[in-house]
Amino acid sequence: MPGEGAPVVAVLATMDTKGAEAAFVAAVLRERGALPWLVDVGLREPAARADVANTAVARAGGMELADVLALPSRDRMVEAMGRGAAAVLAGSLRAGEVHGVLALGGNQGAAIAALAMRDLPFGLPKAIVTTMASGNVRPYVGCKDILTLFTVADLAGGPNRVTAPVLRNAALAMAGMAHGARAAPQPRTANREPRTAVAVTALGNTHPAVARAMERLAGAGYEPIAFHASGACGSAMEELVEAGAIAAVLDLTPHELSEEVMGEGAYVPVRPGRMTAAGRRGVPQVVSTGGMEYLCFGPPETIPARYRARPTAMHNPMNPNVRLTGEELARVGRAMAERLNAARGPAAVLVPLKGWSAYGGPGGPLHDPEADAVLVRTLAERLDPRVPLRRLDLHINDPAFADACADTLLAMLSAGLRSKD
């Protein structure tokens, strides 16, 4: 590990193929007052020296490099090296010796780096420079705050007139972030005082309700944090709740549960178990039905054929919202009830009977009160009596509904504080 006095940036690279690029990035980091710490995550004989050899990385993951190479498939080799790199980084973080992580790679290098970065804390600077960044990066990034930068050309043969500016920009950005992390290490979200943090789930279709509820929570002295129900944000919220960083959850827009139960859509959670972390932790939660009546897809041509005849609202040219049936919502309701019944802390469900989204109210393209009623009946039949179900003759975006949800959660929090006195 380099000496003290400057921020340290761990540089992950497959040194058998990206050694020259890693050396180039290391030089730029030094130029900007950051100390590079080269970690070799490659599988073959390195072409350049690293501070942590690939043999040590494999060993940190519980295997010798020779045993990794003897695994029957490349994906298992990648998993083994990712596991080892994660262990190396975790040890350095515990010692306070790393202030940022920068990875270079193609498909294999990016996969190893992503596996290593997923267990790193929110707020720690982390970035991957890769040929894969122009495609779907969700399998790599998951629900973590990982910056990705497209290399434009392949990282092969050393920096050139195309890749050198990209690599330099990545190193300059990471040096700046690492200096900031070293100067003010405490703002990492998971390490902050959680007692006033309240998660609020959101979509554009429920924004008026979200904004109103957040205003009411802030007025009561809490810090509301909105999580867009994009699949990744909801999963990030679950992870932060699990880590003890969130005091309460106002799940106004649990749309992702519908996509998890149905197993398709653009917003399927990147990790399973939506609407479970608060229950496990005993964190107070108020849940509504925002956006649960539809699935989101990408461009219209990505809608599966079996859904194309259904009522659809085009949220934008790349985001069609496709209506769910009553039978499908019954499945969603059963999962919702099961997860809330398992909660160890206070939970309540509030349902707006006049529509669950901007498109689901009277006159809207997704308005189907009969189908919505199936989910409500399912909840009424299956929810444990200790999880109250309130039906309000309002639309989700009516101010009175947002106030009711926020006030219910504030009452739970107040009761919890009184019980501790």
Q: Please write the tens of the pLDDT for every residue from 38-49.
A: 999 999 888 888
Nearest alpha-carbon partner for 93 in 207, 209, 185: 185
pLDDT of 417: 64
Alpha helices in 220-276 (DSSP H): 232-242, 255-262
The domains located in the chain, with CATH, are 8-183 (3.40.50.12020), 193-420 (3.40.50.12030)
How many residues make up the chain in this entry?
421
The pLDDT, as a whole number, for residue 193 is: 54
pLDDT digits (tens, 9 = 90+) for 257-280: 999 999 999 999 999 999 999 999
Residue 189, pLDDT score: 44
| DSSP structure class, residue 325 | P
Mean per-residue pLDDT over the chain, rounded: 92
Query: How far is 227 from 193, CA to CA, in rounded Å?
Result: 19
Name the amino acid, one letter, at 1.
M
Candidates 376, 266, 268; CA nearest to 326 is: 376
State pLDDT tens for residues 91-111. Answer: 888 878 899 999 998 888 889
Model confidence band, residue 23 (pLDDT cutoffs 50, 70, 90): very high
When pLDDT is averaged across residues 130-147 and rounded to a whole number, the result is 84
Return the number of other C-beta atoms located less than 10 Å from residue 272's C-beta.
10
How sure is the predictor about 15, in pLDDT bands with cuts at 50, 70 and 90? very high
Q: Quickly list DSSP for 62-97.
A: TS-HHHHHTSSSHHHHHHHHHHHHHHHHHHHHHTT-
Structure tokens given for 172? 């300059």
The pLDDT of residue 171 is above 60: yes
Q: What is the pLDDT of residues 176-196, one digit of tens each?
A: 999 988 887 544 444 455 578
| Assigned token pair, 22 | 């890693």
pLDDT at 418 (0 to 100) = 57
β-bridge mates for residue 392, sequence order: 352
Average pLDDT over residues 369-398: 98
For the residues 212-239, what does the mean pLDDT come to? Answer: 94
Q: What residues contact residue 86 under an 8 Å CB cut-off, 6+ apart?
A: 61, 115, 116, 117, 118, 119
Write the CA distances from 21 to 13, 28, 61, 157, 359, integer angstroms.
9, 11, 25, 8, 50
**Radius of gyration for the alpha carbons in the chain, expressed in angstroms and rounded:** 24
Global pTM value: 0.81
Residue 101: which H helix or E strand, with range?
strand 100-105
Q: What are phi and psi of 272, to 5 degrees?
A: -70, 165
**Bridge partners, residue 323, by sequence:** 294
Rounded Cα gap, residues 100 and 88, in angstroms: 13
Nearest residue to 188 via CA among 126, 141, 133: 126
Mean pLDDT of 14-36: 94
Sheet with 126-130, strands from edge to edge, namely 35-40, 8-13, 100-105, 126-130, 147-150
Tokens of residue 285, six digits:
């939660």
| Tens of pLDDT, residues 291-326 | 999 999 999 999 999 999 999 999 988 889 999 999
